[in-house]
């Protein structure tokens, strides 16, 4: 009998927790429209959405090394998921 009351209490709390407002949707951006800058943007204000890190690699020794364009495409895809307009202060490197 005691367990029945606990179960009913838990089920009663479930709809109340689901009734909260949904999180605001991130506006979808086209990946190709996102600008890539190696320096800071000083001609307008911006809001940072966070740091991004991507990697591009080759799987076989005879493949060509990844190009900056390939890395930029990966950056644009990640930035599009965040709803960004641009990626700034980009640094390229090898491991």
Q: pLDDT for 23-42, tens place per residue? A: 555 566 788 889 999 999 99
Q: How far is Cα 41 from Cα 89, in angstroms, rounded to an integer?
A: 9
Global confidence as pTM: 0.65
Q: pLDDT for 42-95, tens place per residue? A: 998 999 999 999 988 888 888 888 889 999 999 999 999 998 999 999 999 877
pLDDT higher at 88 or 14: 88
The band of 17, judged by pLDDT with boundaries at 50, 70 and 90, is very low
Residue 58 CB partners (closer than 8 Å, separation 6+) = 64, 65, 66
CA-closest candidate to residue 80, choices 33, 12, 40, 17: 33
């Amino acid at each position: 009998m005691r367990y029945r009351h606990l179960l009913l209490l838990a089920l009663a709390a479930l709809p109340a927790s689901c009734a909260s407002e949904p999180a605001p949707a991130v506006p979808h951006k086209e990946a190709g429209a996102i600008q890539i800058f190696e320096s800071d943007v000083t001609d307008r204000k911006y809001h940072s959405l966070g740091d991004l890190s991507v990697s591009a690699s080759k799987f076989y020794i005879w493949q060509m090394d990844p190009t900056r364009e390939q890395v930029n495409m990966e950056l644009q895809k990640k930035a599009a998921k965040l709803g960004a307009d641009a990626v700034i202060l980009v640094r390229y490197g090898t491991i």
